[in-house]
Structure 1
Amino acid sequence: MTSRFFALIPCAGTGSRSGAPMPKQYRTVAGRELLHFTLAAFDACEELMQTLVVISPDDAHFDERRFAPLRFAVRRCGGASRQASVRNGLDALTEFGATDDDWALVHDAARPGITPALIRSLIATLAADEVGGIMALPVADTLKRVDLERGDRIARTESRNGLWQAQTPQMFRIGMLREAIARAERDGHDLTDEASAIEWLGHAPRLVQGSLRNFKVTYPEDFELVEAILAQRPSA
């Protein structure tokens, strides 16, 4: 049986660092809610069987009608952490026929600069991979290690050779990712993304070249930048 592709978008965060009066995924940018641009990119990819949005059980901002006619489903199974939301979302994907051998593309709701071309590039690169991988960018800036005892004083400069900045989507087999998250949780490992869970199992995920436009909206000043990016017509 040929493996299929499913998208999973954890969308249960509060976005407290963004300075917005609501979760940042619902803030209007370039005439649409930020989440709309994320969903539209996945909707344009016919390779995907289903896109599942995971929101908090008490989310009062989400209105499915505002995202019509985009193709997606929503489940109110978000957890207290991203990791919990992803775990619950993986379980919910079984409702749509997903099996352990199928692929899940986990993507941050607050990365609206994702494009269909980037998604297709990830799928094409990893579809035959034994582990899976993530979108990422080589680190371009000089990195400084802070002296924690002295606050904002530099302790030393770190080499950026071989360093990449993780992005999403992160694409792994559903069964492997579920097992990896469960193992990491049992071992008390603090997960920062899906790849770190897979690494915890001893695997080496592959890196696929991402894009600067696919950055994560986090701080108040990010909204102006992402609006300028989204106002331009992306490549298909």
Structure 2
Amino acid sequence: MSPNYWAVVPAAGVGKRMGTNIPKQYLPLAGKTVIEHTLDSLLQHPRIQAIVVAVSSEDRWWPECLPQDKERIIRAPGGAERCHSVSNGLECLLSLAAPEDWVLVHDAARPCLRREDIDRLMETLHGHPIGGLLALPISDTVKRANAEGVVLETVNREGLWRAMTPQMFRLEKLYRALREAIAAGVQVTDEASAMEWAGFSPHLVEGYPDNIKITHPQDLMQAEDFLKRQGREG
């Protein structure tokens, strides 16, 4: 029997760099909120069974942002850091999914995800024992600087990629890797880093560059332009 596909969206962050009084995932964008666009991109894919959204217990905006297809949305408790939110989301899936099922972990603040990127991720990794992630090869010149912003060196960009989401891994392997990394006090910035720490080698799948993460105020204007080009205005 073929494995099923599920999604986890960590959405407990506050987005301090945006400088707004509400979390960035609830900011208005092209007729909806950021997170509504994000969830729509996942809900519209026919192979994704359900989405677990990890939300802070103090979140007062979430109920207003439930999409129409809310039957496929499961709320999980958010955590102090992204890794804790993802771990909580995976724990919710343990009673619903098989250990070898695929889980796509996607940032709440990446509203421009294309169907083609999800398809490419699934098609590339469907027989892979571990999984992988969407990423982009780095094309810019990369500088390493000190705390004062002074250049220390130019970094060789050959073989360097910029990690994106979704990151897709087998449920049990990812859950175990995250839990063990958290218990060991390892700094886990994404799911792939937890898998790497556990001794696995994730596969990189090149994605579209318009799958941007909303981090700064100017990102909203760029995201709106991308959504209009994709025909996804609210």
Q: TM-score, normalised by structure 1?
A: 0.93
Structure 2 gaps, min length 5: none
Q: Is the 8 A contact 1:57 1:76 kept in 2?
A: no
Structure 1 gaps, min length 5: none
**Equivalent residue, structure 2, for 1:34:** 34
Q: Is the 8 A contact 1:213 1:229 kept in 2?
A: yes
User: Equivalences for 1:107-186 in 2 at 5 Å?
Assistant: 107-148=106-147, 151-186=148-183
Shift of 1:71: 5.6
Deviations 1:75-128 (A, max 9, x none): 141111100000000011134x21211111000010001011111110111110
**Equivalent residue, structure 1, for 2:207:** 210
Shift of 1:129: 0.4
Q: Separation in 1 of the partners of 2:102 and 2:27?
A: 30
Q: TM-score, normalised by structure 2?
A: 0.94
Secondary structure of the residue that 1:118 maps to in structure 2? helix
Secondary structure of the residue that 2:9 maps to in structure 1? strand
Q: Separation in 2 of the partners of 1:124 and 1:64?
A: 34
* Percent of aligned pairs with the same amino acid: 39
Equivalent residues, number: 232
- Quick one: which amino acid aligns to residue 8 of structure 1? V
Shift of 1:68: 1.4
User: Equivalences for 1:65-80 in 2 at 5 Å?
Assistant: 66-69=66-69, 72-80=72-80
Secondary structure of the residue that 1:213 maps to in structure 2? coil
User: Equivalences for 1:4-43 in 2 at 5 Å?
Assistant: 4-43=4-43
- Quick one: which amino acid aligns to residue 210 of structure 2? R
Secondary structure of the residue that 2:122 maps to in structure 1? helix
**Equivalent residue, structure 2, for 1:44:** 44
Q: Is the 8 A contact 1:181 1:197 kept in 2?
A: yes
Q: Separation in 2 of the partners of 1:65 and 1:144?
A: 40
Q: Is the 8 A contact 1:55 1:74 kept in 2?
A: no
- Quick one: which amino acid aligns to residue 34 of structure 2? L
Residues 185 and 175 (structure 1), Cα distance of their counterparts in 2 relative to 1, 3 Å cut: same
* RMSD over equivalenced CA pairs, Å: 1.6
